[in-house]
Structure formats: C-alpha cells, structure tokens
Structure 1
Amino acid sequence: MTPERTEKLLNVLRRRQPDLSLIADQVNKPRNLSALVRNCDAVGIHSIHTVVPKEGYRTYRGTAKGSDYYVKSRAHESVENAISVVRQQGMKVVAAHFSDKAIDYREFDFTQPCALLMGAEKQGVSDVAAQMSDAHVVIPMMGMVSSLNVSTAAGIILVEAQHQRLKAGMYDQVRLSDQEISRTLFEWGNRDLAGYCRSNGLAYPPLDEIGDVIDAPGWYQTVKDGKADSFDWTAEAV
C-alpha cells in the first residue's frame, strides 16, 4: 500500500469503537443487511453479529458499497448465542423494540459498552430477544406509519450513539489494541493473502506495527516447506 493509503486506513482504525456493536436478528433481506453494515462502518463500529435467518441470505454488495469488507462480522445460529457473546465482551444489549419499558432512543446512554439489537423486517424483535435485552428504545413517530425500515431505524439510532460518543471524546482516543490495528491493516491491505491464510488454516505471518509482513520471503518459504503455523479460524472470536 502507498503511505497515503496506509495513513487513511490508520485514521479509520484509530476511531473504531470496539465496545459498540450491532446484532442483526434474522434480518433476511440482503439489501437491508448490507445497509446495516454500511451504517455500522459510518459510525465506527468495528464488528457486528448476525443471527442467520432460517431461509438464509447472501451479501448484497450494491448497498454496502464495499463497507462489508471493513466491518468484521460473526454469524450465530441463535439470538441467545449472539447476546451471550456480546455480554461476555462487557456490553449491554439495547433492542429497538416497542414495549411498556421502551424509552426514547435519545435517552439511552450509548457511551457505555453496548450492542444495538435490530429484529427481522416483518417480525421485529423476537420475544426471547426482548426478554434478554437490558433496555428497549423507540424512535418517536409523528405520522401514520408505526415503524421505519430496519436499516433506516438503525441508522437514526446509531447516529445518536455517534453523537453521544463524539461529545464524550471517545473518537479522539485509540480504542483498538496495537495488535488488532496491525492485524486489521494486514487484512485490509492484503485481501488475497489474508484469504489464502484463512482458506488453508494458516496463521497470519508475523506483522509489523503497520500491518506489513516481516520477512515475507522467509514466511513464504515456511509455507512452501509446510512449516507455517496453523490456525483454527472457525474458533476465532470477533
């Protein structure tokens, strides 16, 4: 990569918010899912969680505009598992859900570690997800419609989260570890090589602070000789 490209990517990573995430619970329309990813990238979310719809889905890159590559994603078979994982990471779960305990989304404190949970297009947030969530938020509606498109609603709420975190100076601090920044720079700048490592169960080669391979010829030789370190990518946590 050119120095200018590297610096641009570094500036993005320095503003990433590892303690802010999104759970997409069986959002099955590819266009909506990709729009959610684009919203997350826009507000500095580093990784998201998706609960796989029963009917499945595929990525719709026309809406994501490539941002799906810059936001890490972890798939889950159930919303219970997704919520459990973000809780283990110290996050509260706030569901976009109309209920007796729901508050205006602007009243929720998004500066705390939290994950926004968005339900499927027609069904909304499931009963299980609603019960497991720590809080419910709603967007006040002034017209005849009772709800917004899932990606539109998520965008509105996430902009509020961004606003609160900007006021708190959270984008002025580097929140990711040096190791995560180096690793992500490698993935963004070496897509083919990163993909090769993943598909062949190889650990990433040793990297310097800006994500470049240390002693690339030597590492390629270890791969050729079958001596490169292995890695179980199916067990990787995001």
Structure 2
Amino acid sequence: MKETSNIFGIRAIIEAINADQSMEKVYIQKGLSGHLFSELNTLIKQHNISSSYVPIEKLNHLSKNQNHQGVVGKISAIDFYTLEDIIVNNQKENPLYLLLDQITDVRNFGAILRTAECTGVDAIIIPNQGSAPLNADAIKTSAGAAFKIPICKVNHLLDAIYHLQGEGIQIVGITEKTDTTLYEVEFNKPTALIMGSEHKGISPAILKIADATAKLPLLGDIASLNVSVACGVALYEVVRQRRN
C-alpha cells in the first residue's frame, strides 16, 4: 500500500513522470514560464496527466512552504491499470466492468468503489481528465476497496467503450433518459455499466453508442438518486440476475 504524497520542484516532477510514477495531478503556478517548465508541460500533455493553474498560496500550502519552484505534483496512492491489461487478464465467462463518466465527488467515488468490490466488479474504468482524485478521502470512504479492485485510467471513455464492444461486452448506460427500466435489461452476459456525473449524468456522445440504457424507477417526488446509491442498486440487480 502506497501513501498519497506530494513532490515539488520542476526537475523532480519531470523525473517522476519519466520513471512512470502514477501522477494524480500537477499543480502549476499561474504565469510560470521557462525552458524547464516547457519540458514539463510537454510531458504532462503526452501522458495526459490532470493539471491546473493555481495561485502561489496553494503551492505553498501543498509543499509546506518549501522551495516548490512553482510546481507541485501529487503521486497516486495506487498504480493504475491499462484497459488492455484488464481485458487480457480477465478470464471470466461473464466479466462485469464499471465505467464512471466524470464522477467528481471523492466520497461518491469511494462509495462506488466499495460497492463495486462487494458486488464482484472486475475493474473500474475512469477518464484521465475530469474525474475525482483517488485521494485519502476517497480511499477512506472505499473502506480499502481502492486497493482490492483494479482501476483503469483511459484517455477517452468513447475509445474504451468501442474497445469493450469489440470484445463482445454489452454497454449499459444507467440514466433517467430512457423508458426502459433496470429490470428489463439482460445482465447474464459480459457487461459494462456506465454511471454519469452528479450534475450532468452520462454525456450524450456516450449514451449514443451504448448498447442499452436503463433507469431506476422512482416512486417519490425527488427526481433522482445519489449516483453512488443508484450505482449500488444497478450492481445488485446484476448480482440478482446472475445468481438466479
């Protein structure tokens, strides 16, 4: 088990990236420039690492006021898998994957990881950009599941979906934008569920290429469930069908 840690200094972060360290995010001082920064910026883009420009006060806090040279990197607490590794190493007859389309709340992310591990999900697939970080809060909420279930980062979820479909895996989007209920979909086959972001749901481009869509019936006045709760309901319907 690795601890989430911060490193600082442009050269140190360049070396970490070149050494294939799993970098969760890089924080960059607004207005930073220079040859060494250009080299770092190129690496960040090449490796599709999440980054943001922040005021110097943020960097001072992250580095505990040490000489950060305008850059602080956060090394991931876990190692991420490639999509190819996950597919090749999974020998199950009916694999089950979970794709998260820009889930941004760390506690939702952690809760989803916990439920996914409990329901036998084979891997979580998330985009490199726009997802909640796998930080201490997410790991704590997952009750350790973050270290037990493979997590895969991909450059684009659309490409990942096409890849999974090419492997004969049905893609099911869990969304209220459909007339089909969760209980009408056949899950006793290789399946990947998609859960959308807390505010926007599944993006239209992803919904368009899904093999099926399904909604959870809502009998009260509130229009939607928390995404981690909805994910739990959907996963346990998969469990129910497969046990029967």
Normalised by the shorter chain, which TM-score bucket? Answer: 0.5 to 0.7
Residue of structure 2 in register with 1:230 after alignment: none
User: Aligned partners of 1:138 and 1:94: how far apart in 2?
Assistant: 10
- 1:62-73 alignment runs, 5 A limit: 62-73=140-151
What is the percentage of aligned positions where both structures have the same residue?
Answer: 27
Q: Render the CA deviation track for 1:31-52: whole Å, top value 9, x for unaligned.
A: 1111111111111112121123
Aligned equivalent of 1:140: 217
Question: Which of 29, 36, 41 is residue 112 of structure 2 equivalent to?
Answer: 36
Q: Larger deviation: 118-127 or 52-61?
A: 52-61
In structure 2, the residue matched to 1:111 is: 188
Structure 1: distance between partners of 2:131 and 2:145: 24
Structure 2 unmatched runs, 5+ = 1-91
Tell me how far 1:17 sits from its aligned partner.
7.4
Q: Pick from 54, 59, 64: which aligns with 2:130?
A: 54
How many equivalent residue pairs?
153
Structure 2 residue identity aligned to 1:72: P
The unaligned stretches of length 5 or more in structure 1 are: 1-15, 168-238
Whole-Å separation in 2 of the counterparts to 1:78 and 1:146? 29
Q: For the residues of structure 1 that align with 2:107 and 2:168, how far apart are their CA atoms?
A: 30
Tell me how far 1:53 sits from its aligned partner. Answer: 3.9
CA deviations 1:178-229 (Å, max 9, x no partner) are xxxxxxxxxxxxxxxxxxxxxxxxxxxxxxxxxxxxxxxxxxxxxxxxxxxx
Q: Would you say the 8 A contact 2:94–2:188 is kept in 1?
A: no
The answer as to whether partners of 2:181 and 2:216 remain within 8 angstroms in 1 is yes
d(CA) in 1 for partners of 2:131 and 2:119?
29
Answering whether residue 161 of structure 2 is matched by residue 86 of structure 1, we say: no
Partners of 1:105 and 1:78 lie apart in 2 by: 26
Point out 4+ residue stretches in structure 1 off by more than 6 angstroms: none
> Please, what is the CA RMSD of the aligned residues?
2.2
The one-letter code of the counterpart of 2:95 is D
User: What is the CA-CA distance between 1:138 and the residue it aligns to?
Assistant: 0.4
Does the 8 Å CA contact 2:103/2:131 hold for their aligned counterparts?
no
Counterpart secondary structure, 2:232: helix
The two structures have a TM-score, normalised by structure 2, of 0.58
Amino acid at match of 2:100: A
Whether 1:151 aligns to 2:220 is no
* 1:56 shift after superposition: 5.5
Structure having the larger proportion of residues in strand: 2
| 1:215 alignment counterpart | none
Cross-structure match for 2:208: 131
Query: Does the 8 A contact of 2:139 with 2:146 survive in 1?
Result: yes
Asked if the contact 1:94–1:136 (Cα under 8 Å) also holds between the matched residues in 2, the reply is yes
Q: Could you say what secondary structure the match of 1:121 adopts?
A: coil
Q: Residue 75 in 1 paired to residue 153 in 2? A: yes
Structure with the bigger RCO (C-alpha within 8 Å, sep 6+) is: 1
Please list the CA deviations of residues 40-91 of structure 1 after superposition, one character each: whole Å capped at 9, or x if unmatched.
Answer: 1111112121123437523311110001111111111222122123223321
Q: 2:105–2:132: 8 Å Cα contact kept in structure 1?
A: no
> What pairs up with 1:204-219 in 2 under 5 angstroms?
none
1:166 maps to what in 2? 243
Q: Select the residue among 96, 101, 108 that pairs with 2:174.
A: 96
Name the amino acid aligned to 2:123.
Answer: S
Seen in structure 2, the aligned counterparts of structure 1 residues 56 and 149 have a Cα distance that, compared at 3 Å, is: closer
